[in-house]
Amino acid sequence: MRRLPTLLLYLLLLPLVAAAAAPPLMLAGQWRDGPDVSRYWVSEKLDGVRARWDGRTLWTRAGHRIDAPDGFTRGWPLQPLDGELWAGRGRFEQASGTVRLHPPDVDGWRNLRFMAFDLPGHAGTFDQRLAALRVLVARAASPTLGLIAQQRIADTATLHRHLAVTVAAGGEGLMLHHQDNPYRAGRSDGLLKLKPWDDAEARVVAHLPGKGKYAGMLGALLVERADGARFRIGSGFKDAQRMAPPPIGSVVTYRYNGATTNGLPRFARFLRVREELPPGNGD
Protein backbone atom coordinates (compact mmCIF):
# COMPACT_ATOMS: atom_id res chain seq x y z
CA MET A 1 0.00 0.00 0.00
CA ARG A 2 1.39 3.38 -0.97
CA ARG A 3 2.11 5.64 2.02
CA LEU A 4 0.57 9.10 2.05
CA PRO A 5 2.95 12.08 2.17
CA THR A 6 3.63 13.20 5.74
CA LEU A 7 1.86 16.54 5.43
CA LEU A 8 -1.23 15.01 3.79
CA LEU A 9 -1.47 12.41 6.54
CA TYR A 10 -1.09 15.20 9.09
CA LEU A 11 -3.93 17.19 7.56
CA LEU A 12 -6.24 14.16 7.49
CA LEU A 13 -5.87 13.45 11.20
CA LEU A 14 -9.07 13.52 13.20
CA PRO A 15 -9.82 16.67 15.18
CA LEU A 16 -9.08 16.85 18.88
CA VAL A 17 -11.69 15.29 21.12
CA ALA A 18 -13.52 18.24 22.62
CA ALA A 19 -13.46 22.00 22.64
CA ALA A 20 -13.93 24.38 25.54
CA ALA A 21 -13.01 27.94 26.34
CA ALA A 22 -9.34 28.56 25.58
CA PRO A 23 -7.26 28.30 28.77
CA PRO A 24 -5.98 31.67 30.05
CA LEU A 25 -2.35 31.38 28.98
CA MET A 26 0.39 33.99 29.21
CA LEU A 27 1.74 34.96 25.77
CA ALA A 28 5.19 36.21 24.86
CA GLY A 29 6.24 39.54 23.45
CA GLN A 30 9.41 40.16 21.42
CA TRP A 31 12.75 40.74 23.09
CA ARG A 32 14.45 43.99 22.09
CA ASP A 33 17.94 44.69 23.46
CA GLY A 34 17.95 47.25 26.25
CA PRO A 35 16.58 45.72 29.48
CA ASP A 36 18.92 44.23 32.10
CA VAL A 37 19.23 40.60 30.98
CA SER A 38 20.51 39.52 34.38
CA ARG A 39 17.00 39.98 35.80
CA TYR A 40 15.57 37.33 33.46
CA TRP A 41 15.57 33.55 33.47
CA VAL A 42 16.52 32.27 30.00
CA SER A 43 15.41 28.96 28.47
CA GLU A 44 15.29 27.34 25.04
CA LYS A 45 12.14 27.99 23.01
CA LEU A 46 10.95 24.47 22.32
CA ASP A 47 9.44 23.53 18.96
CA GLY A 48 6.49 21.65 20.44
CA VAL A 49 2.75 21.87 21.10
CA ARG A 50 1.81 24.38 23.78
CA ALA A 51 -0.41 22.72 26.36
CA ARG A 52 -1.87 23.30 29.80
CA TRP A 53 -2.38 20.65 32.47
CA ASP A 54 -5.31 21.57 34.73
CA GLY A 55 -4.58 18.90 37.34
CA ARG A 56 -6.67 16.26 35.58
CA THR A 57 -6.56 16.86 31.81
CA LEU A 58 -4.27 18.26 29.13
CA TRP A 59 -5.65 21.10 26.95
CA THR A 60 -4.34 22.88 23.88
CA ARG A 61 -4.11 26.65 23.96
CA ALA A 62 -7.22 26.85 21.76
CA GLY A 63 -9.27 24.90 24.32
CA HIS A 64 -9.24 21.39 22.82
CA ARG A 65 -8.93 18.45 25.20
CA ILE A 66 -5.86 16.36 24.39
CA ASP A 67 -6.52 12.63 24.34
CA ALA A 68 -3.37 11.34 26.04
CA PRO A 69 -3.08 7.56 26.48
CA ASP A 70 -3.75 5.89 29.81
CA GLY A 71 -0.83 6.31 32.18
CA PHE A 72 0.82 9.25 30.42
CA THR A 73 -0.15 11.73 33.16
CA ARG A 74 -0.05 9.27 36.07
CA GLY A 75 1.52 10.84 39.16
CA TRP A 76 1.53 14.38 37.80
CA PRO A 77 0.87 17.25 40.24
CA LEU A 78 -2.72 18.31 40.91
CA GLN A 79 -1.69 21.93 40.31
CA PRO A 80 -2.09 23.49 36.84
CA LEU A 81 1.08 23.42 34.69
CA ASP A 82 1.97 25.38 31.56
CA GLY A 83 4.36 23.76 29.12
CA GLU A 84 5.08 22.09 25.78
CA LEU A 85 4.43 18.58 24.54
CA TRP A 86 7.78 17.99 22.89
CA ALA A 87 9.29 15.24 20.74
CA GLY A 88 12.72 16.84 20.33
CA ARG A 89 14.32 19.52 18.19
CA GLY A 90 12.98 19.71 14.65
CA ARG A 91 10.11 17.31 15.35
CA PHE A 92 7.13 19.65 15.56
CA GLU A 93 5.10 17.77 12.93
CA GLN A 94 5.67 14.50 14.78
CA ALA A 95 4.55 16.04 18.08
CA SER A 96 1.56 17.84 16.58
CA GLY A 97 0.40 14.82 14.61
CA THR A 98 0.59 12.60 17.70
CA VAL A 99 -1.32 15.08 19.87
CA ARG A 100 -4.15 15.36 17.31
CA LEU A 101 -4.81 11.65 16.92
CA HIS A 102 -7.93 10.10 18.49
CA PRO A 103 -7.82 7.46 19.75
CA PRO A 104 -4.23 8.13 20.80
CA ASP A 105 -1.31 6.35 19.19
CA VAL A 106 0.43 4.83 22.20
CA ASP A 107 3.68 4.29 20.29
CA GLY A 108 3.72 7.93 19.17
CA TRP A 109 3.15 9.19 22.69
CA ARG A 110 6.23 7.28 23.88
CA ASN A 111 8.28 9.89 22.03
CA LEU A 112 6.62 12.82 23.83
CA ARG A 113 7.31 14.52 27.14
CA PHE A 114 5.46 17.42 28.73
CA MET A 115 8.14 20.03 29.41
CA ALA A 116 6.77 22.37 32.08
CA PHE A 117 7.89 25.98 32.35
CA ASP A 118 5.33 27.73 34.57
CA LEU A 119 2.68 27.41 37.30
CA PRO A 120 -0.44 29.32 36.20
CA GLY A 121 -2.24 28.97 39.54
CA HIS A 122 0.65 30.31 41.66
CA ALA A 123 0.28 33.93 42.79
CA GLY A 124 4.00 34.63 43.23
CA THR A 125 6.75 36.01 41.03
CA PHE A 126 8.45 33.88 38.40
CA ASP A 127 11.35 33.35 40.83
CA GLN A 128 8.87 31.88 43.31
CA ARG A 129 6.94 29.89 40.70
CA LEU A 130 10.12 28.36 39.30
CA ALA A 131 11.25 27.23 42.75
CA ALA A 132 7.85 25.64 43.41
CA LEU A 133 7.76 24.05 39.94
CA ARG A 134 11.14 22.42 40.46
CA VAL A 135 9.85 20.79 43.65
CA LEU A 136 6.64 19.56 42.01
CA VAL A 137 8.38 18.01 39.00
CA ALA A 138 11.05 16.35 41.15
CA ARG A 139 8.39 14.98 43.52
CA ALA A 140 6.35 13.55 40.63
CA ALA A 141 9.39 11.62 39.33
CA SER A 142 7.44 10.90 36.13
CA PRO A 143 9.25 9.82 32.93
CA THR A 144 6.72 11.82 30.89
CA LEU A 145 7.05 15.08 32.86
CA GLY A 146 10.11 17.28 32.57
CA LEU A 147 11.21 20.80 33.40
CA ILE A 148 12.58 23.21 30.80
CA ALA A 149 16.06 24.22 31.93
CA GLN A 150 16.29 27.83 33.08
CA GLN A 151 19.52 29.77 33.48
CA ARG A 152 20.79 33.23 34.29
CA ILE A 153 22.76 35.20 31.69
CA ALA A 154 24.92 38.16 32.66
CA ASP A 155 24.66 40.53 29.70
CA THR A 156 23.26 41.09 26.22
CA ALA A 157 26.40 39.97 24.37
CA THR A 158 26.35 36.64 26.22
CA LEU A 159 22.63 36.31 25.47
CA HIS A 160 23.21 36.58 21.73
CA ARG A 161 26.11 34.12 21.86
CA HIS A 162 23.82 31.69 23.69
CA LEU A 163 21.15 32.22 21.00
CA ALA A 164 23.66 31.43 18.24
CA VAL A 165 24.79 28.22 19.98
CA THR A 166 21.17 27.13 20.55
CA VAL A 167 20.12 27.71 16.94
CA ALA A 168 23.27 26.02 15.58
CA ALA A 169 22.34 22.94 17.63
CA GLY A 170 18.85 22.85 16.09
CA GLY A 171 16.95 24.97 18.59
CA GLU A 172 14.34 27.52 17.57
CA GLY A 173 15.31 30.39 19.86
CA LEU A 174 15.15 31.56 23.47
CA MET A 175 12.48 32.56 25.99
CA LEU A 176 13.09 35.14 28.72
CA HIS A 177 11.01 35.27 31.93
CA HIS A 178 11.45 38.34 34.11
CA GLN A 179 12.18 37.22 37.65
CA ASP A 180 9.49 39.49 39.17
CA ASN A 181 6.73 38.84 36.64
CA PRO A 182 3.39 37.43 37.91
CA TYR A 183 1.47 34.93 35.78
CA ARG A 184 -1.06 36.99 33.80
CA ALA A 185 -3.16 35.75 30.90
CA GLY A 186 -2.53 37.49 27.60
CA ARG A 187 0.50 39.30 26.19
CA SER A 188 3.11 40.07 28.84
CA ASP A 189 6.27 42.20 28.82
CA GLY A 190 7.57 39.83 31.49
CA LEU A 191 7.69 36.92 29.01
CA LEU A 192 9.67 37.56 25.83
CA LYS A 193 10.99 35.49 22.92
CA LEU A 194 14.23 35.95 21.00
CA LYS A 195 14.87 34.29 17.64
CA PRO A 196 17.24 35.04 14.74
CA TRP A 197 14.24 35.69 12.49
CA ASP A 198 10.70 36.99 12.79
CA ASP A 199 7.68 34.76 12.31
CA ALA A 200 3.96 35.30 11.90
CA GLU A 201 0.78 33.61 10.70
CA ALA A 202 -1.25 34.06 7.53
CA ARG A 203 -4.21 32.30 5.93
CA VAL A 204 -3.83 30.40 2.63
CA VAL A 205 -6.05 31.88 -0.09
CA ALA A 206 -4.65 30.18 -3.23
CA HIS A 207 -2.20 27.59 -4.55
CA LEU A 208 0.03 28.95 -7.32
CA PRO A 209 1.35 26.33 -9.78
CA GLY A 210 5.02 25.47 -9.97
CA LYS A 211 7.30 25.67 -12.99
CA GLY A 212 10.42 23.81 -14.09
CA LYS A 213 11.30 21.11 -11.58
CA TYR A 214 8.14 21.98 -9.65
CA ALA A 215 5.80 21.60 -12.63
CA GLY A 216 2.63 19.82 -11.54
CA MET A 217 3.33 20.71 -7.92
CA LEU A 218 2.92 23.74 -5.69
CA GLY A 219 4.99 26.72 -6.75
CA ALA A 220 3.94 29.12 -4.03
CA LEU A 221 1.17 29.87 -1.56
CA LEU A 222 -0.79 33.08 -1.86
CA VAL A 223 -1.54 34.06 1.73
CA GLU A 224 -3.38 36.84 3.51
CA ARG A 225 -2.47 38.47 6.82
CA ALA A 226 -5.02 39.60 9.39
CA ASP A 227 -4.71 43.16 8.05
CA GLY A 228 -5.74 42.02 4.55
CA ALA A 229 -2.28 42.28 2.96
CA ARG A 230 -1.54 39.46 0.50
CA PHE A 231 1.84 38.05 -0.56
CA ARG A 232 3.46 34.85 -1.82
CA ILE A 233 5.40 32.22 0.08
CA GLY A 234 7.45 30.17 -2.38
CA SER A 235 10.27 28.63 -0.36
CA GLY A 236 10.72 26.45 2.69
CA PHE A 237 8.62 23.53 1.36
CA LYS A 238 9.67 19.90 1.18
CA ASP A 239 8.72 18.03 -2.00
CA ALA A 240 5.99 16.13 -0.10
CA GLN A 241 4.51 19.46 0.96
CA ARG A 242 4.56 20.73 -2.61
CA MET A 243 2.65 17.61 -3.68
CA ALA A 244 0.13 17.97 -0.83
CA PRO A 245 0.11 21.68 0.07
CA PRO A 246 -1.68 23.22 3.04
CA PRO A 247 -5.37 23.48 2.12
CA ILE A 248 -7.11 26.71 1.19
CA GLY A 249 -8.28 28.39 4.39
CA SER A 250 -5.63 26.83 6.61
CA VAL A 251 -3.27 29.00 8.65
CA VAL A 252 0.48 28.69 8.13
CA THR A 253 3.42 30.04 10.07
CA TYR A 254 6.17 31.66 8.02
CA ARG A 255 9.60 33.09 8.79
CA TYR A 256 10.82 36.39 7.41
CA ASN A 257 13.59 38.95 7.81
CA GLY A 258 12.10 42.37 8.42
CA ALA A 259 9.73 44.23 6.12
CA THR A 260 9.86 45.83 2.69
CA THR A 261 9.14 49.52 2.15
CA ASN A 262 5.46 48.67 1.53
CA GLY A 263 5.23 46.69 4.78
CA LEU A 264 5.30 43.15 3.38
CA PRO A 265 7.60 40.49 4.88
CA ARG A 266 11.05 40.16 3.31
CA PHE A 267 12.15 36.65 2.26
CA ALA A 268 9.01 34.93 3.58
CA ARG A 269 9.62 31.18 4.01
CA PHE A 270 7.13 28.46 4.92
CA LEU A 271 7.67 27.00 8.39
CA ARG A 272 4.65 24.85 9.22
CA VAL A 273 0.88 24.51 9.18
CA ARG A 274 -0.67 26.15 12.22
CA GLU A 275 -3.55 23.85 13.04
CA GLU A 276 -4.88 26.27 15.66
CA LEU A 277 -4.63 30.03 15.39
CA PRO A 278 -3.25 31.03 18.79
CA PRO A 279 -5.02 33.61 20.95
CA GLY A 280 -3.38 36.98 20.51
CA ASN A 281 -1.77 35.84 17.21
CA GLY A 282 1.38 34.36 18.72
CA ASP A 283 2.91 32.26 21.47
Catalytic positions, written as ranges: 45
Q: Which amino acid is located at 110 in the chain?
A: R
Q: Which amino acid is located at 1 in the chain?
A: M
Dist. CA 113–CA 145, nearest whole Å: 6
Strand ordering across the sheet containing 198-209 = 230-233, 218-224, 198-209, 251-256, 269-274
| β partners of residue 113 | 86
| β partners of residue 204 | 223
Backbone angles phi, psi at 46, to 5 degrees: -80, 145
CA angle in degrees (0–180, nearest 5) for 167-264-172: 15
Exposure string over 28-64, b if 16+ CB within 10 A, otherwise e? beebeeeeebeebbbbbbbbbbbbbbeeeebbbbbbb
Dist. CA 34–CA 203, nearest whole Å: 34
Q: In this structure, are residues 171 and 116 in contact, taking their beta carbons and an 8 Å threshold?
A: no
Of 201, 188, 173, 178, the closest CA to residue 282 belongs to 201
Please name the residues in contact with 224: beta carbons below 8 A apart, sequence gap of 6 or more.
202, 203, 205, 230
